[in-house]
Amino acid sequence: MEPSRQEFRDAMARLGAAVTIVTTDGEAGRVGITASAVCSVTDTPPTLLVCMNRNSSLNPIVQTNGVLCINVLPGAAQELANTFAGFTGADQIVRFDQGNWTTLATGAPVLEEAVAALDCVVEEVVEKGTHSVVFARVQAIRLGAPGPALIWFSRNYHPVGLPG
């Protein structure tokens, strides 16, 4: 018998994941959301995958813009994560008022305080269930200051890693 949706969600809550802000900018607009469903696919060529709910405001905009940046959050960025997750009610324009933003190769917003930022072009999108799985090829990387990163585990934020 297949596990229930809730059983699956409870199990996934026990799988720690880096907290990122996925951003995009281009003809469809500038948006960003908090996400933890990001992982490496291969280092040759450097490629990531990002899972986005089809109902997410980011999903169609990323697909239209064709670019995104994965901004890995530092351990002290819980407030920023909550803002981009939509928990504070801030709209997309106001969200970018927090933090310091720049760009690299693609024009997608890069958080200067990020532990790492991976600037990408979208290469392929696979629709699976409720989500779009976006395969993105890395065009540029910016490494931030060393220090703790933010993870999501057991439905809460936790800083991990050694101090800078």
Closest to 159 (Cα-Cα) out of 81, 102, 97: 81
Nearest of 108, 132, 135, 131 to residue 119 by alpha carbon: 108
Give the domain range for residue 39: 19-153
Q: Which of 13-17, 29-33, 52-56 has the lowest mean pLDDT?
A: 13-17
Rounded-to-10 torsion of CA 106, 111, 112, 115: -110
Res. 13 pLDDT band, cuts 50 70 90:
confident
Within a domain: 6: no
CATH number of the domain that residue 101 is part of? 2.30.110.10
- Classify residue 49: in a domain, yes or no: yes
Whether residue 90 has pLDDT greater than 90: no
Q: In angstroms, what is the C-alpha Rg of the chain?
A: 15
Q: Considering the domain boundaries, does residue 131 fall inside one?
A: yes
Any domain includes 160: no
Is 4 domain-assigned? no
With pLDDT > 90 as the criterion, what percentage of the chain qualifies? 82
Instruction: Evaluate if residue 72 carries a pLDDT over 80.
Output: yes
The verdict on residue 79 lying in a domain is yes
Q: Is the pLDDT of residue 86 over 70?
A: yes
Residues 84/73, Cβ–Cβ less than 8 Å: no
Residue 161, in any domain of the structure: no
Amino acid 87: pLDDT: 84
Residue 43 has pLDDT above 90, yes or no: yes
What is the percentage of the chain residues whose pLDDT exceeds 70?
99
3-state helix, strand, coil in the chain (%, to 5): 15, 45, 40
pLDDT of residue 164: 62
Task: With respect to residue 135, please indicate whether it lies within any of the assigned structural domains.
Answer: yes
Name the band, by pLDDT with cuts 50, 70 and 90, for residue 57: confident
> What's the domain count of the chain?
1
